């Protein structure tokens, strides 16, 4: 029997909604080809207004979807996976659940094709970074196209996903902290907050684009802003003395270690 829906999404939280919006805005799928399940009536009503199909019945969704995307909290996954294991008809299961390995998914849903994704929160403004890991011998363009709707995508072996969590997965929080420090520093130096925020945001955006597009390496870009006896070098030397780079790396290593712990729990 042919599946009724191209994509079934289990979970209607913020990340699932961002993915859905990307799919609809890019016209990758029409609303009638998508079904979403959740226990929250308000969330389902909001999604129904977008024209997609909604249900509270995960077994119905699992029985009638060509692709299934799990977008629930990891702690809710065991019950949901167990409930649909005998009903699932999809040969491709997609998961954005942190810490839930492909091996763990296989233990509940059996041998089939899997894609595990680590997106990050800038997907909400279509500037996300999503890393895709496929199960052995499997690769699917439609899965990649889903996440290309909400930003950039790269493929990596699943063994790297804890490292990815420490960098792009959690990285937006680190960047927000640096932007906040720039704003607070601007205010301390005499600017009003609104002006400092404008300057900080554009400085970070512009600098990131320089790193992306310039043929020069990052150390050269840093040196090109500095001049001997000038102003920038005073701040740069201060950051080096305080080991800014070491502080960032230490935090990332702790983040990765916690991701590894979660994968074992």
Q: Identify whether residues 134 and 181 lie together within a single domain.
A: no
Boundary (domain end) residue, out of 161, 179, 211: 161
Higher per-residue confidence, 129 vs 264: 129
* Assigned domain for 78 exists: yes
Provide the token pair at 152.
Answer: 């950039």
Q: Could you give the number of structural domains in the chain?
A: 2
pLDDT (tens digit, 9 = 90+) per residue, 29-42?
Answer: 999 999 999 999 99
Buried-state track 234-263, b at ≥16 Cβ within 10 A, e below 16 = eeeeeeeeeeeeeeeeeebeebbeebeeeb
Q: What is the pLDDT of residue 3?
A: 77
Domain that holds residue 88: 5-161
Q: What is the tens place of the pLDDT at every residue in 171-222?
A: 999 999 999 999 999 999 999 999 999 999 999 999 999 999 999 999 999 9
pLDDT band for 2, please (50, 70, 90 cuts).
low
Mark whether 150 and 220 lie in a shared domain: no
Q: What angle do CA 117, 123, 126 make, to 5 degrees?
A: 125
**pLDDT, average across residues 60-87:** 90
Q: What pLDDT is recorded for position 153?
A: 98
Same domain, 62 and 133: yes
In a domain, 166, yes or no: no
Identify whether the C-beta of residue 99 lies closer than 8 Å to the C-beta of residue 70.
no
Residues 140 and 259 in one domain: no
Which residues are within 8 A (CB) of 153 and not within 5 positions of it... i.e. 6 or more apart?
Answer: 130, 131, 132, 144, 147
pLDDT higher than 80, residue 167: yes
pLDDT digit string (tens) for 186-196? 999 999 999 99
136 and 253 share a domain?
A: no
Residue at 123 is within a domain? yes
Asked whether residue 30 falls in the same domain as residue 115, the answer is: yes
Q: Are 120 and 168 in contact (CB under 8 A)?
A: yes
Q: Determine, yes or no, domain membership for 45.
A: yes
pLDDT tier at 74 (50, 70, 90 boundaries)? confident
**Whether residue 60 sits in one domain with residue 143:** yes
Q: Is the pLDDT of residue 263 over 80?
A: no
218 Cβ partners below 8 Å, 6+ apart?
211
pLDDT score of 1 more than 60: no
Picking from 114, 131, 161, the residue at the C-terminal end of a domain is: 161
Q: How far apart are the first and last CA of the chain?
A: 38
Domain CATH code at residue 69:
3.40.50.720
Q: Which two three-digit tokens encode residue 128? A: 């996300």
Indicate whether 17 and 140 sit together in one domain.
yes
Q: Work out whether strand 128-134 and strand 113-118 pair parallel, antiparallel, or are unpaired.
A: antiparallel
* pLDDT score for 168: 97
């Amino acid at each position: 029997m042919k599946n009724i829906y191209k994509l079934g999404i289990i979970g209607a939280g913020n990340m699932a909604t961002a993915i859905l919006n990307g799919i609809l805005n890019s016209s990758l799928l029409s609303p009638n080809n998508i079904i979403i399940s959740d226990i929250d009536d308000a969330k389902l009503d909001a999604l129904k207004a977008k024209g997609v199909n909604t249900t509270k019945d995960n077994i119905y969704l699992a029985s009638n979807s060509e692709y299934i995307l799990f977008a629930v909290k990891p702690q809710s996954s065991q019950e949901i996976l167990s409930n649909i294991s005998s009903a699932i008809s999809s040969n491709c299961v997609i998961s954005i659940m942190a810490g839930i390995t492909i091996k763990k998914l296989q233990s509940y849903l059996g041998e089939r094709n899997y894609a595990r994704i680590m997106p990050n929160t800038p997907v909400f403004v279509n500037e996300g970074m999503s890393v895709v890991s496929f199960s052995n011998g499997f690769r699917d363009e439609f899965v990649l196209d889903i996440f290309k709707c909400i930003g950039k995508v790269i493929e990596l072996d699943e063994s790297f996903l804890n490292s990815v969590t420490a960098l792009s997965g959690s990285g937006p929080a680190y960047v927000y902290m640096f932007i906040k420090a720039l704003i607070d520093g601007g205010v301390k130096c005499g600017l009003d907050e609104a002006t400092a925020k404008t300057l900080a945001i554009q400085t970070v955006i512009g600098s990131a684009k320089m790193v992306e597009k310039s043929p020069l390496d990052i150390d050269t870009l840093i040196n090109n802003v500095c001049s001997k006896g000038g102003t920038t070098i005073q701040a740069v030397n201060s950051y080096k003395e305080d080991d800014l780079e070491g502080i960032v790396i230490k935090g990332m290593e702790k983040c990765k270690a916690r991701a590894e712990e979660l994968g074992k729990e």
